């Protein structure tokens, strides 16, 4: 009985001492890399978990289809991995297209802002008017801004939510310029907007020329990577040939080919890619 009482007494002392210690701060959860990508693609309302489920379903479907066609597990797993990555590739393409669309229409949107300010409208009213008179790709985010400002009346908070909806580097520059112009005040807002419009137009023109020259490099890299796997997919209809990839040597060939293709594609894209703009103060 004595050892039990001693143990209980020791546990009580430990609990009393621990009550005076401050709890260690919990580390903040690391944000997922998919969240900024979803926002850039205009799918900010989609959860990361839901997107991962879509990737898993695509991978499982590709694995099952190729397995039925080839009856070769290693080949099916390789195409299953490609199928799981397909939604990520589509999301990246959608984000790039959305960014290009925004870059093309931002000068027109800034011109509309300058015209509205010159006509005597306040800056929040001019921004809200873009939801009706602005370029089509930008109307939905600015409609959200108009609703936020109408509900809260806080211009800075509405601008922050507008940046989150746009998720665009050019949009960040425009929003921060408008924020500074609003806080500083003065009569130079129209001149600032005209200068910003000219800068954005020149930047979009230069980037479009570079992207047209870059396209052949990226398309060539995609074709070079896709060609051997298309040939392998066609070989699935020849059972006596595709069964050779079930052996150890066949698995080595598949894994080595996949690693070589991934490395070569990344190198080609890195060599031919343009400097990417990063979001500021996001």
26 inside domain: no
| Structural domain includes residue 196 | yes
Q: Nearest to residue 93, comparing CAs of 204, 222, 180, 188?
A: 222
Nearest 5°: the CA angle 207, 213, 215 is: 100
Question: Do 193 and 114 touch, CB atoms closer than 8 A?
Answer: yes
Q: Is residue 156 part of a domain?
A: yes
| Cβ-contact 45, 225 below 8 angstroms | no
> How many distinct structural domains can be found in the chain?
1
Quote the mean pLDDT of the chain.
82
Q: Point out the least confidently predicted range of 21-25, 114-118, 163-167, 238-242.
A: 21-25
Q: Would residue 65 count as lying in a domain?
A: yes
Say if residue 130 is exposed, middle or buried (CB neighbours under 10 Å; 0-12, 13-18, 19+). buried
Domain encompassing residue 196? 48-272
User: Which of 221, 235, 217, 229 is closest to 257 using CA atoms?
Assistant: 229
Q: Higher model confidence: residue 197 or residue 276?
A: 197
Q: For residue range 88-102, what is the model confidence (pLDDT) as tens digits?
A: 999 998 998 898 889
Q: How confident is the model at residue 192 (pLDDT cuts 50, 70, 90)?
A: confident
Q: What DSSP character marks residue 33?
A: T
Going by C-alpha positions, the residue among 272, 77, 112 that lies closest to residue 190 is: 112
Query: What number is the average pLDDT over the span 60-70?
Result: 91
Compute the chain's Rg from CA coordinates. 28
4/264: higher pLDDT: 264
Q: Tell me whether residue 217 is in a domain.
A: yes
CA 197 to chain centre: 26
Whether residue 4 lies inside any domain: the answer is: no
Determine, yes or no, domain membership for 192: yes
Residue 42 placed within a domain: no
């Amino acid at each position: 009985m004595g050892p039990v009482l001693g143990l209980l007494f020791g546990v009580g002392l430990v609990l009393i001492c621990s009550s005076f210690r401050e709890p260690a701060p919990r580390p903040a959860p690391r944000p997922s890399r998919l969240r900024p990508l979803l926002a850039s693609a205009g799918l900010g309302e989609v959860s990361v978990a839901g997107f991962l489920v879509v990737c898993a379903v695509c991978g499982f479907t590709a694995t099952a289809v190729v397995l039925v066609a080839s009856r070769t597990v290693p080949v099916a797993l390789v195409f299953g991995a490609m199928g799981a990555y397909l939604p990520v590739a589509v999301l990246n393409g959608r984000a790039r297209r959305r960014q290009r669309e925004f870059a093309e229409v931002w000068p027109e949107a800034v011109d509309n802002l300058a015209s509205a300010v010159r006509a005597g409208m306040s800056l929040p009213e001019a921004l809200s008017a873009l939801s009706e008179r602005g370029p089509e790709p930008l109307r939905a985010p600015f409609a959200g801004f108009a609703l936020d400002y109408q509900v809260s009346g806080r211009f800075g908070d509405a601008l922050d939510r507008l940046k989150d909806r746009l998720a665009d580097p050019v949009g960040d520059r425009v929003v921060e310029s408008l924020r500074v112009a609003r806080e500083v005040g003065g009569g130079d807002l129209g001149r600032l907007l005209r200068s910003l419009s000219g800068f954005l137009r020149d930047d979009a023109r230069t980037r479009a020329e570079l992207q047209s020259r870059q396209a052949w490099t990226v398309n060539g890299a995609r074709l070079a990577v896709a060609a051997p796997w298309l040939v392998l997919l066609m070989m699935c209809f020849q059972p006596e040939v595709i069964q050779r990839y079930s052996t150890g040597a066949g698995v080595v060939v598949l894994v080595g080919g996949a690693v070589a293709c991934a490395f070569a594609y990344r190198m080609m894209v890195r060599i031919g890619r343009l400097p990417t703009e990063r979001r500021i103060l996001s």
